[in-house]
Structure 1
Amino acid sequence: MGNHKKGLLKRYICMAVGFVLSLSLFAGCSKGSNQESETSLILGFSQIGSESAWRIGNTKDIEEQAEKYGINLMFENANQKQENQIAAIRRFIAYKVDVIAFSPIVEDGWDNVLTEAKDAGIPVILVDRDISTEKEGLTTCLIGADFYREGVMAGEYLIRKADALGLDHVNIVEITGTENSTPMRQRQAGFADAIANDSRMNILESIDGDFLKSRGAECMRYLLDEYGDDIDVIYSHNDEMTLGALPEIEKAGYAPGKDIIIISIDGGQEAIDVLKEGKINCVVECTPKLGKEVMETAIKLKAGEEVNEVIHPVEQVFSDEQDTSKIPERGY
């Protein structure tokens, strides 16, 4: 074959290869555009902090479910400060996210920033906790546990326990969660209502433990100094405070779970392990795995669909009334 023909052949081959490559690139770009449209939902999420195993498990589930559903997650940790959450929500608004979700550290003080979100046309999902407001339409729904029901289940367990032990008088100390937070108010109210008609029950004192392990220990030291042998029951609003209180009880010479009845809420692995050891009598479950519901709700909201105003997961009670060895791993 002559040099001229060889040159033409090489040119045609190069053109053909180039054409194929162009098609491949175009197809690749088209595929990328479809993926972008499928994952174009942007969710801004403001987390309270990382104060407990429950909260860490909740954050992990939110992140994992966002990835699973192909949702772009803008995540901010408020480190237990309301002003940080308000600032984060304003950043989400400025960024023009599609949906905002947050776990409010307290119930009050959200009207201004949520009105800004409403005016920007951005729907807001409450996760884990509720807010207190007289304005309508600031949020679309609440996804989280029924805290009042958790308090009721704790109180109902205590009545059964008192019956089983034949107690004719029961002195209770209560270590509550963060003052004015939804779980604090509702867990306290549910417990109080559950025991209200039982004349044996007497709450000696309720003290703010702020949902923190360190505060649980501090509160327990104070309560033991103040009431000592008079304490029959400790009702703690979360596992972290309970786990902080237990060593203080032992240091004071009492056997938790035997000398003093211990009731906790959350159901994290560490608390369940201690339940199995007999140092906690009852743990009311409050699951942190709310990510699936958050993502599915965000997708519906972006599509303009109606959503339920309240979405509660199904929860249970773990206690010394059952074979605790059969309780499965908790995953948080």
Structure 2
Amino acid sequence: MSKFACRIVWIVCACVLLFIGGCENSGLNHTSLDPVATAITVSTETNPPYESSILEQQIVVGFSQLGSESDWRKANTESIRDAAKEAGIQLMFENAEQSQEKQFEAIRGFIKQRVDVIAVSPVIESGWEPILHEARMAGIPVILSDRAVEVNDASLYITTIGSDFYEEGEKAGKYLLDKLSGEPGPIGIVELQGTEGSSPTIERGKGFRDIIKQRGDLIIRRAEPADFTIEQGRETMTSFLEEMGSDIKVLFAHNDDMALGAIEAIEAYGLVPGKDIVIISVDGTRKAFEMMVAGKINCIVECNPLLGPILMQAVKEVMDGRSLPKRIVPQESVYTEGVAEKEVLNRPY
């Protein structure tokens, strides 16, 4: 074969090889743009995994707690957190630290984040109508926990879950009438109230007064807010004692923590709590029961803080479109010295 013919054969072979290589490269490029392969890639990147889809369907509750001022409040918070976890409900928790302004900020944050339900333990009763209107305009139902609000339109919230504070005051008054039935008057009473303007302060005081007015010689000499804390209870009781001394025969404390602080003040003054001064408290914490076992508290009116399971059940009912009663009250009791030693072992908080 001549050199020219060999060159022609070489050129033809080279062209064939280039053509085959081009087809193979074209096939790879075509595979990388295959519609099915592309769809799979997009699906993996844009669709969330199954667990995320479940999370999106999870009920989300925004809860504004009023503070952490007492053992009762801490037990209440723990109950709500535990119940939410048990129910599979996502809880967004905000502590207002006794500030209504902070509660309003928290609720506006919940509205902005489009939670399913807002739950709130109001610091005080008044001033709630505008913020509840904001929640309604956003289409978010509101449940009140522990404390009530004073509004003209009760349809702004679904229900109130918590104790009947007026009845608690009545129970305290009835115990006192029975306790002092054989003692002549006049009998001086001092009252340690909770946060000024709060529903338990207003209602417990009213219930107590409505009962003891049956005896005109039971006289409330002083009533001051002590913010539901041990420190303020001690300080306020000290001022009462400095002013009236042994003329004080009865202390009605609106919660256990204030009663515990008052006991310290009474002992520091040189009097015997539970004997020189009859002490009635509200809540039912273990520390208060221990004081009752020691004879330093005479009566405890129970106020149940373990509202979490009831609250989460109410949330589920609301999300299912069911109606709820306007007030849900847990079962509660009154305890006196005779059952203190047995009952103290049953206190979960």
Taking the aligned partners of 2:202 and 2:270, their CA distance within structure 1 comes to 32
Please, which runs of 5 or more residues in structure 1 have no aligned partner?
A: 1-24
Equivalent residue in structure 2 for 1:64, among 68, 72, 82: 82
* Secondary structure of 1:314's aligned partner: coil
* Secondary structure of 1:323's aligned partner: helix
* Secondary structure of 1:232's aligned partner: strand
Say yes or no: does 1:325 pair with 2:341.
yes
Say yes or no: does 1:182 pair with 2:171.
no
Taking the aligned partners of 2:236 and 2:97, their CA distance within structure 1 comes to 22
CA RMSD across the alignment: 1.6
Q: CA deviation at 1:34?
A: 7.6
Counterparts of 1:99-138 in structure 2, within 5 Å, are 99-138=117-156
Q: CA deviation at 1:52?
A: 0.3
Equivalent residue in structure 2 for 1:41, among 59, 70, 76: 59
1:15 corresponds to which residue? none
Deviates more, 1:198-207 or 1:83-92: 198-207
Say yes or no: does 1:200 pair with 2:217.
yes
**Percent of aligned pairs with the same amino acid:** 44
Taking the aligned partners of 1:68 and 1:102, their CA distance within structure 2 comes to 20
Please, which runs of 5 or more residues in structure 2 have no aligned partner?
A: 1-43
Say yes or no: does 1:74 pair with 2:102.
no
Write out per-residue CA displacement over residues 129-169 of structure 1, whole angstroms, 9 at most, x where no aligned residue: 00111134211100000101100000011111102x53443
Write out per-residue CA displacement over residues 141-199 of structure 1, whole angstroms, 9 at most, x where no aligned residue: 00000101100000011111102x53443210111111110000000001001111112
Which of the pair has more CA radius of gyration? 2
4+ long deviations beyond 6 Å = none
* Secondary structure of 1:46's aligned partner: strand
Say yes or no: does 1:159 pair with 2:159.
no
* Secondary structure of 1:153's aligned partner: helix
Q: CA deviation at 1:325?
A: 1.5
Taking the aligned partners of 2:225 and 2:322, their CA distance within structure 1 comes to 40
Say yes or no: does 1:209 pair with 2:226.
yes
TM-score by length of 2: 0.84
1:22 corresponds to which residue? none
Taking the aligned partners of 1:324 and 1:41, their CA distance within structure 2 comes to 41
1:18 corresponds to which residue? none
Taking the aligned partners of 1:273 and 1:50, their CA distance within structure 2 comes to 22
Taking the aligned partners of 1:323 and 1:301, their CA distance within structure 2 comes to 39
* Secondary structure of 2:265's aligned partner: helix
Equivalent residue in structure 1 for 2:70, among 21, 31, 52: 52
Taking the aligned partners of 1:210 and 1:68, their CA distance within structure 2 comes to 32
2:113 corresponds to which residue? 95
Taking the aligned partners of 1:282 and 1:167, their CA distance within structure 2 comes to 20
Q: What letter is aligned with 2:100?
A: Q
TM-score by length of 1: 0.88
Q: CA deviation at 1:329?
A: 2.6
Report how many aligned residue pairs link the two structures.
302
Taking the aligned partners of 2:139 and 2:101, their CA distance within structure 1 comes to 22
